Amino acid sequence: MSAPKPSSLHGNRYSGIEVRPLDAALGAEVRCGDLRQASDAQFAQIRQAWLDHLVLVFRGQSLSDEDLIALGRRFGDLDGTIQHRTWYGES
């Protein structure tokens, strides 16, 4: 993964979080503290960063499965259970 770099691509449009575009063609690192405690205003900025950069990296988070589900729901409806399959095609 590429190191984050400062960029003025989207200007200073974020408040309450830090968004640093990566060197790759898309993606950004978001620094906002503990995602579990992100306010609605911070999450609105995170969502905008997602729309702007398509892929977001959050370093240093310790999220349980339940935390990940709750975070995913803040982005929108989830698509139910994903069944894991082996490369042999077995369930």
* Alpha-carbon span 11 to 66, nearest angstrom: 34
pLDDT at 31 over 90: yes
Are 64 and 38 contacting, i.e. CB atoms less than 8 angstroms apart?
no
- Cα–Cα distance measured from residue 5 to residue 53, given in angstroms and rounded to the nearest whole number: 13
Per-residue CA distances from 69 to 27, 58, 66 (Å)? 21, 15, 5
Q: Give the burial string for 31-53 (b: 16+ CB within 10 Å, else e).
A: ebeebeebeeebbbbbeebeebb
For residue 86, is it within any domain? Answer: no
Residue 88 maps to a domain? no
- What is the span of the domain harbouring residue 70? 18-75
Assign 7 a pLDDT band (cuts: 50, 70, 90).
Answer: very low
* Domain assignment of residue 13, yes or no: no
pLDDT in tens, 48-85: 999 999 999 999 999 999 999 999 999 999 887 766 66
- The whole-model pTM stands at 0.72
Domain count, the chain: 1
